[in-house]
Every structure is written in C-alpha cells, then in structure tokens.
Amino acid sequence: MAPPRIRRLPAVVLATVGLLAAGHIGATLAYTGPDTPVKAALQPALNRYFLGPLDQGWNLFAPGPYSQDEYMLVRACISEMDVCAGGDAAGAEFTEWRNVTAEELEAAEYNIFADRETRQSKVVHGRFWPVANDLTDEQRGMAEANHIDGEPVFGVDLSSPEASEVYSASELGTLRTYQRLEDVAVGLGTLVMRQEHGDAVTLVEVRMLRESVPGFSQRHDPPSEPAQHWTSIGWRPATEFDEATLEAWS
C-alpha cells in the first residue's frame, strides 16, 4: 500500500509559516539582544519591522506615574545659507522657538481619537533622550555644536571604514544610533518649520526639554520654577524631502 502523499497546498502553507516563524524569532533575538556592530547595521530594518506605523507604549504598566514633562522645541534660519552661516552679524533672520510638543498636545486635548500626528515629537523625544545621554561629554559637545557645511558631526563618516579606527565597536554603535535619531529629529523639525515658512527654511536647530513635575508630597506647595534639563542639537541643514513626502505631510 503506497504511503499517502502530502498535499501540495498544505505543504506550501506549512513551509511558509515555518519560514516566517523562524524569521520572526531570529529578528526578535536580534532586536532584543545586546548591542553589536551587526545589530547596529540591522537596526533600521528591525525598527521598521517591530515598530511599524504604530508606536507601542507601555506607560500604563510603569511602576510609577510620570515625574516629568517632555518637550521638543525647534527654530529655523530663513535666510540664504551664507547669510545664516554669518549669524546675526550678517543679518540672518531666525524664527522664534516653537514648542512642537505643546502644539501637538493642544491639538489632542479632549480628542479621544487623536492619531499619531498628535504625539510625533514625544515619540522622537523619548527615543532620542536616552541615546543622547549615552554620549561622552566630548561627544555631546560635538553634537551640540553647529554643523552646517555637511561635515560629519563626530568628525568621521560613521559608515566608513575609518570610523572603526577612531571609535570602538560599542562607541560606534551608540554614535550610529544617535545619528539616526538626530536625523529624525532634524527631519521632523524641518517639516514643522516648512509648514510656516516653506522653502525659506535653510537651517534648523532642535532642543529637547525635560521639566520636572511636582511630586505628590509637593502637591499643595509646588516649586515656583520646575527643574529643567536640556539636550540640544546645534544648527543643521534643513532636511530635503521629495514632493510626495511634503504633500503627505501637508
């Protein structure tokens, strides 16, 4: 008696499910594993896979309530590049600081169906801040400096072979993650400022703020001035976007 044949469709389905499961498990191990050069190279793809268009927040399950407010602020130079490079002395025109997070929160107030657009800056802040804190004092000073001529923030192209000669593998992983998140912050800042000033936006400067929230024991006598902690990104060229991105943003 001939053994029963495995039908083709169930076999294909099982093989596909097995491959997908193996790929997901491998990606999960890479995403949750220790920082390595391989993980740093895969990080953008891993972020797209696990984070996707939605952002998962676990604040509901945190061991304690929020103890600070987080804000992202941005301003722009809206003069020509050479004029902006000369600063006030050259007659450069700078915008006022815009508190992007406060504007988003105002749009989300009393709106239980607020979408991701109303909290983009908080997501960027939450991911950028801890990575910026991992920088050394020297590296933080380099990040807070102005880099408007396209020169690398940390003195070397982080994707070049020379980078591994200047920085250790762990340092390089941290710097690459920081650079990726800085690019995101500058890109968001560019889009926000372009809404008001259009193509006139030449340079963008970003500041991240953490402002302490009075504790429960201070609820009846809060401090007059909350403690503030800042992390800054110096002046950077405005990010260039294609027309499809600009149209989708507008």
Confidence of residue 148 (pLDDT cuts 50, 70, 90): very high
Provide the pLDDT for residue 243. 85
Q: What is the pLDDT of residue 105?
A: 82
112-131 pLDDT, tens per residue?
655 556 678 988 999 999 99
- Range 222-227 average pLDDT: 78
pLDDT computed for residue 48 by the predictor: 77
* Rounded distance between C-alpha atoms, residue 100 and residue 118, angstroms: 10
pLDDT at residue number 10: 79
Pairing verdict, β 68-77 and 228-237: unpaired
Q: What is the pLDDT of residue 111?
A: 63
Average predicted confidence (pLDDT) for the chain = 84
Q: What is the pLDDT of residue 95?
A: 96
Which residue has better confidence, 80 or 112? 80
Q: What's the length of the chain?
A: 250
What is the per-residue pLDDT for 15? 85
Examine the pLDDT at 62 and tell me if it is beyond 70. no
Residue range 77-91: mean pLDDT, rounded: 93
Contact at 8 Å (CB) between 147 and 153? yes
The pLDDT > 70 percentage for the chain reads 84
CA 205 to each of CA 40, 44, 142, 216: distance values in angstroms, whole numbers, following the listed order: 26, 24, 14, 35
Higher pLDDT, 35 or 207: 207
Predicted TM-score (pTM) of the model is: 0.72
Looking at the predicted structure, is the pLDDT value of residue 216 above 60? Answer: yes
Q: How much is the pLDDT for 246?
A: 78
pLDDT (tens digit per residue) in 7-61? 777 778 888 888 999 988 988 888 888 877 878 788 878 877 776 655 555 555 5
Sign of the CA dihedral with 194 first, then 200, 206, and 207 last: negative
Q: Is the pLDDT of residue 177 over 90?
A: yes
Q: What is the mean pLDDT of residues 216-226?
A: 73
Task: Tell which residue, 42, 52, 74, has the closest CA to residue 177.
Answer: 42
Q: Is the pLDDT of residue 234 over 90?
A: yes
Q: Which run of H or E residues covers position 171?
A: helix 169-197
**Angle, CA 218 vertex, CA 215 and CA 224 arms, to 5°:** 100
